[in-house]
Amino acid sequence: MRHLKMFWFGSLATITLLGQQTTTTPTPAPRTTAVAARGSIATGQQRVDPGTTYHRVLAIVPIVGSGTFADPKRPMFAPTPQAAASRSGIIGYQHLPSDDGKFALVEFVAVDRSAFAELFASTIPGVQYFEVGKASTAEIQAAFQQKKASFSFSTFRPMPVQ
């Protein structure tokens, strides 16, 4: 029985076969620079951070709903579970309740910015919104901490949506 051992050191491989040592330089694999015809991602590309995909809005909104299956308690403007299956409108959200339980600190996610039209046009007292990329993190955190003193972005990370 022959024994084969292989060790990688950077770009050189050392092969030991029956007590003989041989050093070889591996042939680099060809790089794909374009997306293949079947639609897969090129091998040299990195994945996009989920927090930077889609349109995102952070908001302070009242909690609505009666608590029934047909009308669950949820942040205002959030879709019901039955409506969330559609890819139009708001496709996902995450929230934390405020310290008094009357408001929700929410991250809304949508494929298109127009899904937030109702939120942007709202004149309901207490509703505040911040578009991700337009408002500063310090500004958002200060507003959220007025409603929830222990709020921190280290525990409220961007929601991954697929």
Q: Note the pLDDT tens digit of each residue in 17-42.
A: 444 554 555 555 555 544 444 555 55
Question: Which pLDDT does position 68 carry in this prediction?
Answer: 87
- Average predicted confidence (pLDDT) for the chain: 76
Q: What is the pLDDT of residues 26-85, one digit of tens each?
A: 555 555 544 444 555 556 666 655 555 678 999 999 999 888 888 889 999 988 766 656
Looking at residue 10, its pLDDT comes to 43
At residue 146, does pLDDT exceed 90? yes
For the chain, the distance separating the N- and C-terminal CA atoms, rounded to the nearest angstrom, is: 50
Whether the model clears a pTM of 0.85, i.e. scores above it, the answer is no
The domains of the chain, with CATH numbers, are: 52-147 (3.30.70)
